Amino acid sequence: MLKIHGIAKSRAFRCIWAAEEAGLAYEVIPVGFGPELKANVAAVNPNGKIPALQDGELTLFESLAINLHIAGKRGAPLMPAGDDGSRVLQWTLWAATEMEPAIMQWAYNTYIRPADQRDPGQAKAGAEAAAQRLLVLEGHLARGPVLVGTGFTIADLNLASVLYGAWLNGFDFGPYPRVKAWLDACLTRPAALAARKQREG
């Protein structure tokens, strides 16, 4: 059984969704953000962060790497082989390096931090940086309704999970209708709804 260390109201949400999507048995080991975090998670993540995964003798950190592992256990179509497998890696890394920093700059200064700690200028800069990436994604989705191949893969899950908070908290996806339709489809899949129920409760 997979053991996911974290809570659904963290990036562990991504891993819970991946386990649901893969149909693999899992247990959430609840570790929150309080002062106990580093002590409780150090054995599975020396960075002192959540999530972390234990799968038998294997221990992993980094949520998107965990998801690639989960998808690899399930195999195709969630984790395709060959060139499409390489494209999955491409979009997963793009989610982490291109999209997430920009969208999180907006998020921290829009709804995550207390109101008196938000910087509207930083929120605007994050939204503008995210917009550049969303244009890339909008153009790519002109080829079809998913990121890779013809069906839903872990690439879709990984990128949609990075955008989930923005989708839920009022980011304007109106200028990007293909992105909006793709996000709506990803985040209303049965496995996504099961994970969201744990997070949104």
Q: Are residues 56 and 144 in the same domain?
A: no
Mean pLDDT across the stretch 152-159?
98
- Model confidence pLDDT, tens digit, residues 32-91: 777 666 667 888 999 889 999 999 999 999 999 999 999 999 999 999 999 999 999 999
Q: Are residues 61 and 144 in the same domain?
A: no
Taking Cα atoms as reference points, which of 59, 8, 55, 58 lies closest to residue 30?
8
CB 109 within 8 A of CB 122: yes
Q: Which domain covers residue 41, as residue numbers?
A: 2-74
Q: Are residues 124 and 88 in the same domain?
A: yes
- Model confidence pLDDT, tens digit, residues 85-95: 999 999 999 99
Q: Are residues 92 and 176 in the same domain?
A: yes
Given 74, 107, 127, which residue is the final one in a domain?
74
When comparing pLDDT for 43 and 152, which is higher?
A: 152
In a domain, 194, yes or no: no
Residue 135: per-residue pLDDT: 98
